[in-house]
Structure 1
Amino acid sequence: MSNKIKKKKMKKRWKISALVLVIIAIIGVVGYVGLQNFLKWKAPELSGEPKVGEWYRITPEGTKSANGKDWHSLIKVGKENKVIVYFFGGGLAVDEYTAARPLNDDGGFYADYADVDFGVKFGIASNNKENPFKDWTILAIPYSTGDLHAGSGEYEYTDLNGNKQILYHNGYINYTSFMKEAMKYIPNPDTLLIAGFSAGGFGTSLLADDIITQYFPQVNNVTVAVDSSLLLTDTWHDVAENMWQTPKEISDRLVSDNITLDSLTSLSKKYGNKIKILFGSSLRDEALSTYQSYFRNGILSTTNENGDIYEKDLAKMVADLQENIPNVGIYIWNEIEKNKDGKNLTPHTILPSPNFYGKKYSEDKSIADWIVNAVNGNINSYGLDLLDK
């Protein structure tokens, strides 16, 4: 299908950036005026020793966003001797059509900017007293490269004005440059949680092995938590190898149409019970079901039918995870949002939302409870009955 036909059939502009959901949540908390100031917040650049409990930027030399502009990451040193490596989401580019359409006021497929410091104010990274991770050290990795945090290449494409451009798929370069700087401030933690939402959840599954082996080989208590990261396409290996140019050890794991399943299965085979693996998703994820329609037929569409398809894909994903990974923890949650078009679809991601710790979706357990229990050695699954309906 030609790009022109795809464009004509795209009736809606759609943003996959999971941080939009954070904005929506914030609106209900602080109001419009407060939101404007909130979104402008930027952490100060780290200079000298960081103060405990304060957020700072680290801007490694040579890092860049998809558009070639500067990239930075964030660090907060906590009171506890525990660390979270936290990957942000924000779409992805998988071909020339998507590469030519970064997120902007009219929509698009992927974020190409890193100024989203406000994302650490809510959810798993927040200082809210209800958040069980509030006193952990957090290495938060913004996402602006369209490559699920795993690329190291440059992709040439033609923009909508007919001009040749370069998309810098430098996610892996950015991540490694930041980690080398951040590790100077991390002594010898006893606990590690690797977590991410949306594109950051995919990144979590792709990079968990790298994080463990390169930066935290001495940590015995390791948990990997993937939030809302299910997309199916037979092109994953080709995209990772030839477009994003991921390290070979990453692309070699991708052998099926399910990039997250492949990555987590490989992780489990390598480490066994030495690490704990968790996967969560809402039942009829609006963003992922919309994006999956692009993979399926080249058209972005938000429909109940797409939600039905996602439900079936999710049920198979969970079954495959349970078959491939002994003692995997699953959390499926359901919060139908009926929009003005009457579509019964569910929100996308939970880690960056106040609902992460504030809402108990199943058996009086929040997603935060589920992850904390797993960290402490008690792995459980919730919401599986939803997949049987």
Structure 2
Amino acid sequence: MAIERFLILDDNTGNTLFFEMLLKELGFSNITISPTGDDALIQADKNHIQFYIVAWELRGMPGTIFVQKARSKKKRRFVPCIIYSKRMAPDDVKLTKDLGFTNILSLPFDRQQVKEMITSIVNFESNIDPRENQLRKIEMYVWDGSPGEAYKMFTDDLFKPGPYQTRALLAATEVFMGLAKIEKAEKCVNDALRNAPDNNRAVQLKARILSRRGHHDEAITILEKLVQASPKNISNKINLGSAYIEADRHDEARRVFSDVMGEDPNNQDCKDQLATLAFKEGDFSLAEQLIAETENGNELARAFNNLAISQVAKGDFDKGIITYNNAMRMLADKARLYLLQYNLGLAYRKKGALEKSLHELASSYTSEPTFEKAYVAIARVVQELKAKGVKPEPKLIRDVKQARELAKKSA
């Protein structure tokens, strides 16, 4: 990908002029200048920016917040960035390390150093290593809630010792979590931590796995230490708040999210977690308001799914069914719903509503024909209906068969 569109974020005109002139000397003319982080986020989308040059010290939204918000959107995930600062505090240095930023400049600028850094980044992005490109595609599938597609893209060479191994292990961790293969996810993240014990993403994922296993206190302890070590890292705080929700420590979750919203009032990840909390407490109206602009629908679907599963497991079928239906209504255009539909079908089956069960299972399978669990469940429900003398709806059976044939042809 050829980089052509740059954005310079600074409220100091001397600095912006320096970078503008330098970029023009390097042959680049498509340059956007933003004096504030809020404006920069708007311009990044409007002008399809491909490269950020960011002042760390800013009035209004500081660089610490901008770089995290810039990376939080799918389309900005891999945009390269240069950060410059008069003098970074230890907390700032830790944050840049957590986020994987290595292109950092100190004022006053060394003109040749800046030129070489920009040229090096542009060349890297223009001639991306095939493994880098492969990992980016895998990570985007994970983001989109398609762990099955991501899994198909893994190859042995990604996991060989070298610069991509840890990142590949972390991507595999998230893929296996998405596929509900927690033991495999845990093995991958443990391997990553052996390579890089201080890798922030690896530690976050380890805590998430512990939380999912029900080891809430251990997960919370890990995340509290992360927040203490890197207090400017918003994702650490949001993960801690999420762990508090999983542990039913709702007041502590609210405290953490209040802190995040004080730093970044429009943080959508934080709103998503507040929505999860509202959803868990039965305030579906508030939950819907909070996730109005979410890009994390698939992660929310997982959280809502787990809540409904626990309700059904306790024998409260009606409550679980209401939870599933509310989740699917809220996330209709924001997430892939096949897992919610599948588990709703299972809930109806446990309740004895076999025809409704078949309808939801068929919807799950036809929307994701590689999801074999749904197909197996359909076969069981069809047998149970026939045993009761009830003929399954012919159209549903035709749709399922057609989806299966198409899946076989594309395999």
TM, length-normalised to structure 1: 0.28
Compare CA radii of gyration and give the structure with the larger one: 2
Question: Higher strand share goes to which structure?
Answer: 1
Higher normalized contact order (CA 8 Å, seq sep 6+, divided by chain length): 1
Question: Higher helix share goes to which structure?
Answer: 2
